[in-house]
Amino acid sequence: MTIQQETAEWIVQQRRYLHAHPELSHQETETKEYVKQQLENMGLDTYSMTGKDIIGILRGKSEGKTVIIRADMDALPIQEQTGLPFASKHEHVMHACGHDGHMAILLGVAQQLVNRTDDLAGTILFLFQHAEEELPGGATQLVEAGLLDGIDAIFGYHLWQPIPAGIIGVREGATMAGADRFSFTIQGKGGHGSMPQDTIDPTLAMSAVILQIQSIISRSLSPSEEAVLSIGELRAGSNYNIIPDSAYASGTVRYFHKEASQHIRERLHTIIDGVCQAYGATFELNYQHGDPPLDNDPGLIAFMEQQAKQLFGEGQVTRIDGIMGSEDFAYYSTEIPASYIFLGIGQADRPYGHHHPKFDIDESMLAIGVELFTESMLAYMGGQS
């Protein structure tokens, strides 16, 4: 199957409309209503598990598996700088991660499959999920609401700038990292910058902590354990000649194994505690375990890899390394068999990555995504998996 030109143009139109009307996490009211209308125009029944998501139901000609295909709906708090004619109409809100394209692809898949129900056995749920970019995210809420009850498998995808346009990336097992957040405040005793002997300088203690915690990855974990610890925020003081009372820092931890996350948390506490004792300061640490690692089912990934090669050729499919970015699709993958793949959109003349105000996608990948998931669902629901 090759997507017809008229259908390809419709998919692009969907993406451009959604790009121009972005909404932030947990605020996707208009997006949800637009998607709902598109699904119902196709003749699909719709419902919502949380009041924020929208799900379209497609039933095949006979009983069979029940699967989900998922797209995310939320945008980011970014002021768009692309100059596109269909740029965001909302100040400081932008689809800067490809979720507009994800929705367009899933609408296209639904449109294609609606006309081929005689080739389907079982039920497909087209899930448009809210709040992928926030904690707590939409996936957590949907799992808690019972979305996965009776579901045999879930499929997802991401338009991915680090992969060249036209290439499909796959990986089994741990594919995207778990993501934790932490913040800590070091409390000292402020004073005049000319009399440090009368103070407990929290900036000095903070400097020592930041240097020491970098040893957690390099010296406390096995060299084979992929993990990252980064400080992203640092605040202290209000004037050049005043030693402040306190200093604040926050950061992120990325990992592929739960044990590494727990170990990093413990070491972080130990190091901050030790440094503060040495400098006579006190501290407060807040550590939040976020999205778990995304774990791809080997059988489903092998199936999707085979489908992609059959459709587009072996040279268009590649095995990728683990990605340190996180995805709340991971919550689904911890519960049921899951497949999450990557559709390359990288081009030399579009060097701006995800979450950048000039980020844009290669729209030619929209039709490729629709073709891949349409044919894959026909094969999977037809018992060829």
> How many C-beta neighbours within 10 Å does residue 181 have?
15
Q: Are 255 and 261 in contact (CB under 8 A)?
A: yes
Structure tokens at 158: 């991401």
Indicate which residues carry an active-site annotation.
74, 132
Which distant-in-sequence residues (6+ apart) come within 8 Å of 62 by Cβ?
Answer: 121, 122
Q: Are 94 and 22 in contact (CB under 8 A)?
A: yes
Q: At what angle do helices 202-213 and 258-279 cross, to 10 degrees?
A: 150
- In Å, how far are 143, 168, 282 from 368, measured between CA atoms? 29, 10, 56
Provide the sign of the torsion angle of the four alpha carbons 155, 365, 74, 326, taken in this order: positive
Which distant-in-sequence residues (6+ apart) come within 8 Å of 183 by Cβ?
Answer: 233, 248, 249, 250, 251, 285, 286
101: part of which helix (H) or strand (E)?
Answer: helix 99-114
Location of structure tokens 């044919």: 375
DSSP annotation string for 269-338? HHHHHHHHHHHT-EEEEEEE--SPPEEE-HHHHHHHHHHHHHHH-GGGEEE---BSS--TTHHHHTTS-E
Strand order in the sheet with 227-236: 227-236, 246-255, 178-187, 282-288
Structure tokens at 297: 């089912």
For the stretch 269-278, what's the b/e string if a residue is b when 16 or more beta carbons lie within 10 angstroms of its beta carbon? eebbeebbee
Find, among 342, 224, 211, the residue nearest to 271 by Cα: 211
376: part of which helix (H) or strand (E)?
Answer: helix 364-381
